[in-house]
Structure 1
Amino acid sequence: MAAVFEKPPVMQRLAPMLQGFDGPLAFAVFLLACAGLLTMYSSGYDHGTRFVDHGRNMLIAGVLLFVVAQVPPQRLMTFAVPLYTIGVGLLIAVAVFGVTKKGARRWINVGVVIQPSEILKIAMPLMLSWWFQKREGQLRPLDFLVAAVLLVIPVGLIVKQPDLGTAILVMVAGFAVIFFAGLSWKLILPPAALGIVAIALIIFFEPRLCAEGVRWPVLHDYQQQRICTLLDPSKDPLGKGFHIIQGMIAIGSGGFTGKGFMQGTQTHLEFIPERTTDFIFAAFSEEFGLIGNLCLIAGFIFLVLRGLAIALEASTVFSRLLAGSITMIFFTYAFVNMGMVSGILPVVGVPLPFISYGGTAMATLGMGLGILMSIAKSRRLVQS
């Protein structure tokens, strides 16, 4: 009788949960997580409990990844409308009576202080993927217009807070779904061309546009200052241009092979602001040089390509669009962070995935990876 009630080993009970996990994606995440822990130890070992907290955040993200991966895509689809509705409702509440910190109203107290815009990083691609799944086989131009409205509402509310970094991520996530759903290139090229022309004109007329007393319409003063600082950080080297200048010095001083682990002078003499968060890529570049940067970039490229491969292999429109959008979020995180630290993009609050310190961003990344794993698992289980 004892044998009848004997419990199977733990690994035997966990095996069905692990079945179908995407090995290449998990390996890429593991390598990037190791790089993150290594860099955080070097840049944050004397910065309170940053290293320990970073490890804890990674564990939380890992748990979220594992839990979300157990939810099949069909079940994930049922969360789309409720999560989007709650997210937009909370954004409206933030606009009305949100908590203001450092001049930005991004938080709301619901017993605990939360930042609702983070919800939209997952809710936006879920909602639009659900929308196009419902319209499968009968897409009309009006359907793309509705999708654009669903995207513009939360993005506009986030921009108003203001929070340009999160707005960019939500915009990219939503636009990726609309593009992968079949948006015509003819509608994309004209605004893209106008954007390139506008950037060229801003660069050409920079001395006049950024002169003292000149104010740009639409943009807030701080947004205008970020663009002007990007174009010529030497105008205010000890003020608004300090971040960009020190970041570029750190990257350049790393040379080809870097100064070595924990040997970064710009980092440890505290010339790099936010060295454990937004500007951690500068600290990494100084210690590991061009070779380290190329390896890190290769890791992100592999993760993105693997995510796109999962999207291509997905069995439903919802899964395909959702996987593609989540993958583009990872690409945008990495591209924007490396670009702003390198001085080719304005400074916005976008962390480097798995490398930068930040609990909320790490949790969002964990859920995103869990969704990718869920889609990969469902495909493999169908094939088997």
Structure 2
Amino acid sequence: MKSNFDRILSSEDLMRRRATLLQRMHIDGPLLILLLTLAAISLFVLYSASGKNWNLLIKQALSFGLGLLSMVVIAQLEPRFMARWVPLGYIIGVFLLVMVDVMGYRTMGATRWINIPGIIRFQPSEFMKILMPAIIAWYLSDRTLPPQLKHVGISLILISVPFTLILCQPDLGTSLLIFTGGVFVLFMGGLRWCWILSVLAVSILVAIVMWFFFMHEYQKQRILTFLNPESDPLGTGWNIIQSKVAIGSGGVFGKGWLLGTQSHLNFLPESHTDFIIAVMGEEFGFFGICTLLLIYLLLISRGLVITAKAQTLFGKLLAGSLTMTFFVYVFVNIGMVSGLLPVVGVPLPLISYGGTSLVTLLSAFGILMSIHTHRKLIVQV
């Protein structure tokens, strides 16, 4: 019979073999479990939010499958390989944004998609959610940190090009989020506080200029509605008011799955996209929303752990920026649905309906897995 000591050694040996198998697959176990949990929640809530629309549910499931496949493929790529191709990806991304203006598909008053009839329709701005922090991380990784003023200036130029193109679609929400993704990299690179305060001062001036010269009337109305939704309860204030009613009526444990009234009686607009968390709040209550927030918190915490353990400057800057940008997406969506922020048309990550968004987000987590698992392989060698 084996001694207890031998059994412990055998157990540790087995754990090492299992860990090695996961590393060879380049899949981070905790991230995968959390992402699959969110996928299940998304399909579950979406079935109710869409009015039991099986076609929409199947499309979402296929998008999850494509996104997971993309995640696995990207996780196999070494961070050094990705860094080598980031500039080309950025150029292609900007080119696609220009093509949106030339031949884009227009719907609901905005031109944001490229439509290839019978093949695919996608939103190029979603890809910039990855490419923006990646290009700034690539540029700063070969420079001395904290970055010098000229490097900050070049970085801001790289950020401003896609920001302006997306703003002109018009898509204020996505353009601001992509701008934030690039700025996060600068901040993590050690941007000096005097420059940060200067940027904040300039941002106020830019906001004033945008209000008078660039913002569309409906965008201004969203901000005015945010400040006082009751000023137009049957018009621009309708979305926020109905969202608050849905969340508040759910109470602690909710009305139950498929029993929500605001969404099923068509009081709540965009219930399967931007306002899906209001559906969840009505049907699963405070408990359901807290459970979702806990999963998000664990996901973000895992991303920050991967950032802290990254071995290269490029990996650290990119992982940190992707993680914090994901946090901003969650914060903005929940904030606008609950009336704490203006409605800017930002979907709830990994829960709202949307194929391009799902594939992009899961690809971003594939990058995180690549940064983490390839780091482990280097340590062992």
Q: TM-score, normalised by structure 2?
A: 0.87
Shift of 1:137: 5.9
Paired with 1:117 and 1:97, the residues of 2 have a C-alpha distance of 15
Paired with 2:115 and 2:285, the residues of 1 have a C-alpha distance of 43
Q: Which of 41, 58, 69 is matched with 1:63 structurally?
A: 69
Q: Does 1:176 align with 2:200?
A: no
Contact kept, 8 Å, 2:25 with 2:76, in 1: the verdict is no
Residues 1:45 and 1:17: Cα distance change in structure 2 (over 3 Å): farther
2:218 counterpart residue number: 222
For the aligned residues, what is the CA RMSD? 2.6
Deviations 1:187-237, CA, capped at 9 Å, x for gaps:
2235547879999xx9xxxxxxxxxxxx84442211110001111111221
Paired with 2:121 and 2:49, the residues of 1 have a C-alpha distance of 28
Q: Which of 261, 269, 274 is matched with 2:270 structurally?
A: 274
Contact kept, 8 Å, 1:107 with 1:115, in 2: the verdict is yes
Residues 1:166 and 1:358: Cα distance change in structure 2 (over 3 Å): same
Q: Which of 151, 154, 159 is matched with 1:146 structurally?
A: 154
Letter in 2 for 1:176: F
Paired with 1:138 and 1:33, the residues of 2 have a C-alpha distance of 39
1:212-361 equivalence runs, <5 A: 216-361=212-357
Paired with 1:194 and 1:68, the residues of 2 have a C-alpha distance of 38
User: Tell me, what secondary structure is at the counterpart of 2:262?
Assistant: helix
1:118 counterpart residue number: 126
Deviations 1:303-347, CA, capped at 9 Å, x for gaps:
111111111110101101111111122112211111111111111
Paired with 2:122 and 2:62, the residues of 1 have a C-alpha distance of 19
Percent identity reads 44
* Consecutive unaligned residues in structure 2, runs of 5 or more: 1-17
Letter in 2 for 1:299: I
Q: TM-score, normalised by structure 1?
A: 0.86
Q: Which of 131, 143, 152 is matched with 1:135 structurally?
A: 143
Shift of 1:31: 2.2
2:10 counterpart residue number: none
Q: Does 1:24 align with 2:30?
A: yes
Residues 1:92 and 1:277: Cα distance change in structure 2 (over 3 Å): same
Paired with 1:103 and 1:267, the residues of 2 have a C-alpha distance of 24
Contact kept, 8 Å, 2:26 with 2:75, in 1: the verdict is no
Residues 1:44 and 1:23: Cα distance change in structure 2 (over 3 Å): same
User: Tell me, what secondary structure is at the counterpart of 2:255?
Assistant: coil
Paired with 2:268 and 2:80, the residues of 1 have a C-alpha distance of 46
Using the TM superposition, name which of 111-120 and 218-227 deviates more: 111-120
Q: Which of 90, 94, 106 is matched with 1:88 structurally?
A: 94
Paired with 1:189 and 1:346, the residues of 2 have a C-alpha distance of 24
Paired with 1:268 and 1:91, the residues of 2 have a C-alpha distance of 36
Letter in 2 for 1:133: S
Deviations 1:155-181, CA, capped at 9 Å, x for gaps:
011111111122122112111111111
Using the TM superposition, name which of 361-370 and 45-54 deviates more: 45-54
Residues 1:97 and 1:27: Cα distance change in structure 2 (over 3 Å): closer
Shift of 1:109: 5.2
Q: Which of 42, 47, 61 is matched with 2:48 structurally?
A: 42
User: Tell me, what secondary structure is at the counterpart of 2:106?
Assistant: strand
Q: Does 1:189 align with 2:185?
A: no
Shift of 1:129: 1.0
User: Tell me, what secondary structure is at the counterpart of 1:381?
Assistant: helix
* Consecutive unaligned residues in structure 1, runs of 5 or more: 1-11, 203-214
Residues 1:136 and 1:315: Cα distance change in structure 2 (over 3 Å): farther
Contact kept, 8 Å, 1:248 with 1:282, in 2: the verdict is yes
Paired with 1:230 and 1:163, the residues of 2 have a C-alpha distance of 18
2:167 counterpart residue number: 159
1:199-214 equivalence runs, <5 A: none
Paired with 1:345 and 1:154, the residues of 2 have a C-alpha distance of 24
Shift of 1:76: 0.7
Contact kept, 8 Å, 1:172 with 1:328, in 2: the verdict is no
1:211 counterpart residue number: none
